[in-house]
Structure 1
Amino acid sequence: MIRIGVYGLGKISYRVIQGILYANNADLYAVCSSNLEKANAFKEEYGARKAYDSYEEMLQDANLDMVYICTPNYLHAKHIQMALNNHKHVVCEKPMCVSSKELNACFDYAKKQNCFLMEAHKTVFTPLNQKLFEVISNKQIGQVKSIDAQYATRLTETISGWHFNKPGSGCMFDIGVYPICYANRMANSSILKVSRFQDEALIEYENGCVAHIATSWDVDMENTAHIYGTKGSVTCKNFWKNTELVMNDKKIVVEQKSDFTGEIEHACTCIESRMIESPVMSRNASLEILKVIGV
């Protein structure tokens, strides 16, 4: 069992913790917030063994194996480096870094420290999308030629200021990375060329597949992915978390307790296997996402 400490107890942390609790090889060991009262409340509610109001103190805990970072985007690189400096394995919420330079520096340091580092992109690890990747790899819809994926939501409530005015801000970093990561995974090829227009991108891959991705905080969209192959097609609404899709008019349904459990189990398995990089969400996979954003 990999003992995990969750750092940053904002909105996303609730779902991350649920994912940890359902994972068969993970233990919610600690929670950490600058507000000790909040950390203690999480500890009591979810059964963590430790609550901290100091990240440095949590990192010095010899029983802690891995940190799951849920802090604001512009702080990720700093918090990754701090964890690695204390020889802790790291899974960091997307976007892991706000530039390719920053990301490479983090992976270089992880290698030096012999620690596992992975960007948390739950989308590619959900049971449904693991099944879909298998379907595509087995050529059940032939050669994938076109992908169209979108994730947009019209903001109707106030969100934190760092979403707008800090490095790593904007809807492309926040929700646009979901269709980007999904398209890259399902295309299963290196990126040849990217064309961008505002919050949309056209991605051309070396294997001939072309993907169109779109995101927005100004309008609502269908939030659906369409994948077209030479022998059929796939349609999936809310593709980043759904449990069902339609392939050639036939429905495929899977079971899922938490859309975060897959990525957590994968990271823990990698750590248990003494790996320092995921074969799925590798350094290169993270760099390809930033390539589409243009940073």
Structure 2
Amino acid sequence: MKRVRWGIISTANIAETQIIPAILRASNAELTAIGSSNTKRREKIVSAFDIPKSYHHYDELLHDPDVDAVYIPLPNSLHKEWIMKAAQAGKHVLCEKPITLNAKDAQEVFDFCKRNDVLLMEGLMYQFHPQHQRVQEIIRSGEIGEIQLMKASFSFLLEEKEGNIRTDPKKGGGCIYDVGCYCIHAVRNILKAEPKELIAFADIDPEYGVDVSAWAFMRMDNGVKAIIDCSFEMDFREEYEIIGTKGTIKVPQAYRPDNNGGQGLIIINKNNDQRIERIYGDQYKLEIEHFSNAILNGTELAYDGANSVKNMRVIDACFESVKTGEKVSL
């Protein structure tokens, strides 16, 4: 079976702990190279995963003819630059979220990749877990009635702020970029709708100047209301809830079911009765296989450029509302 040959740009923790192991588990992918100027850390990862090729500079990896696709988990502020460099070198790109720092840049990188005949996908891996498809099936069945409200939350306590890219505004730090993007996408993805208007609020860290907690209230174009919250200052939560006229659906392990052995939970409450469905999936592996299959067989991406750009437009609107204190129409 033909496999996509992957290269990893940088030695970021998510690459070491999640994406590299996922590539090794995938049926249609193989790990070929890694590039990083952090020689000690790079050599550690090369040894741990028996990576065939190791480069000191990203550019060297991009010009390796044995690499078909690259994964980019660099700081958010560097995404645009290295997506375009990778595309120029003829490499397909899976880039960590957020794809760029604003919708204008997002549209630019997707257009650039299209002109260079390479695929680009934003790495919102959670959506590949099968629990979300099951939630949409339940909604379509009418079991919980007409949807009125959706709430989505993602938070964790960031204890070490000093020297952390998440608190560096020059590197695209802040909780909206880091975890709020999941909540926004979940609302759009599950409801199959776009926000018509929103108002957002945020707590800005006085020392670092980034949003450390944020809330947004949205009116969707299908009439459903949505509330999202994200934070670096709250206990770990990764959930969403859909409230209908006849019942509710709660997904308490929405974004990182891999922390629980890949188990997704769907809790349906209706007429004082509760049903729990457990659904398993390897979301990182599924993400790699999905993107690799598109490269090998020309299949359509489930999460394409137009969708990523729409997500960035909502993020842009949140920042605009936080800055002005006003409601923003999209």
**1:250 correspondence with 2:275:** yes
The residue number in structure 1 matching 2:292 is: 268
Q: Residues 174 and 159 of structure 1: is their aligned pair in 2 closer, same or farther, counting only changes over 3 Å?
A: farther
TM alignment of 1:106-121, pairs within 5 A: 106-121=109-124
Contact 2:70-2:94 within 8 A present in 1 as well: yes
Q: Which amino acid is 1:288 matched to?
A: K
Partner of 2:175: 171
Q: Which residue of 2 aligns with 1:26?
A: 29
Q: Which residue number corresponds to residue 9 of structure 1?
A: 11
Paired-residue identity, %: 29
Residue 210 of structure 1 corresponds to: 225
Moved more, 144-153 or 62-71: 144-153
Measure the CA separation in 1 of the matches of 2:251 and 2:163: 30
Q: Report SS of the residue matched to 1:64.
A: coil
Worse overlay, 224-233 or 155-164: 155-164
Q: Which stretch shifts more, 6-15 or 132-141?
A: 132-141
* Letter matched to residue 225 of structure 1: Y
Q: Which residue of 1 aligns with 2:158?
A: 155
Q: For 2:29, give the aligned amino acid.
A: A
The TM-score normalised by the length of structure 1 is 0.91
Of the structure 1 ranges 96-105 and 124-133, higher mean CA displacement relative to structure 2 is found in 124-133
Match for 1:4: what amino acid? W
Counterparts of residues 174-193 of structure 1 (less than 5 Å)? 174-193=178-197
Give, as a single letter, the amino acid of the residue that structure 1 aligns with 2:7.
Answer: G
Residue 91 (structure 2) pairs with residue 88 (structure 1):
yes
Shift of 1:104: 0.9
Q: CA-to-partner distance for each residue in 1:2-44, whole Å, 9 max, x for gaps? A: 1111112122112111222222221122122112332232122
CA distance 1:40–1:222, shift in 2 (3 Å)? closer
CA–CA distance in structure 2, aligned partners of residues 8 and 144 of structure 1: 43
Distance 1:167 1:35 in 2: 18
Larger RCO, structures 1/2 (Cα 8 Å, 6+ apart):
1
The amino acid of 1:241's aligned partner reads R
- Closer/same/farther in 2, CA of residues 136 and 2 from structure 1, 3 Å limit: farther
Report the number of matched residues: 292
Asked whether the equivalents of residues 110 and 305 of structure 2 are also in contact (C-alpha less than 8 Å), the reply is yes
Deviations 1:78-111 (A, max 9, x none): 0100000001000100011001111111011111
User: 1:138 Cα shift?
Assistant: 4.6
**C-alpha displacement of 1:228:** 1.7
Give yes or no for contact 2:93–2:120 (8 Å, CA) kept in 1: yes
- Counterpart in the other structure of 2:45: 42
| Residues 159-184 of structure 1 deviation map (CA, whole Å, 9 limit, x = unaligned) | 64432221522111011112111111
Provide the C-alpha distance between the structure 1 equivalents of 2:79 and 2:21, rounded to a whole number of angstroms: 21
User: In the superposition, relative to structure 1, how do residues 271 and 140 fare at CA in structure 2: closer, same or farther (>3 Å)?
Assistant: farther
Q: Which is worse superposed, 230-239 or 200-209?
A: 230-239
Alpha-carbon offset, residue 212 of structure 1: 0.5
Aligned to 1:201: 216
Where in structure 2 are there 5+ consecutive unaligned residues? 203-213, 258-263, 318-330
Gaps of 5+ in 1: none
Indicate the SS of the match to 2:118: coil
Query: In structure 1, what is the Cα distance between the partners aligned to 2:237 and 2:66?
Result: 45
1:219 partner SS: strand
Separation (CA, whole Å) in 2 of partners of 1:58 and 1:137: 46
Q: CA, structure 1 residues 230+156, in 2 after alignment: closer, same or farther (shift >3 Å)?
A: same
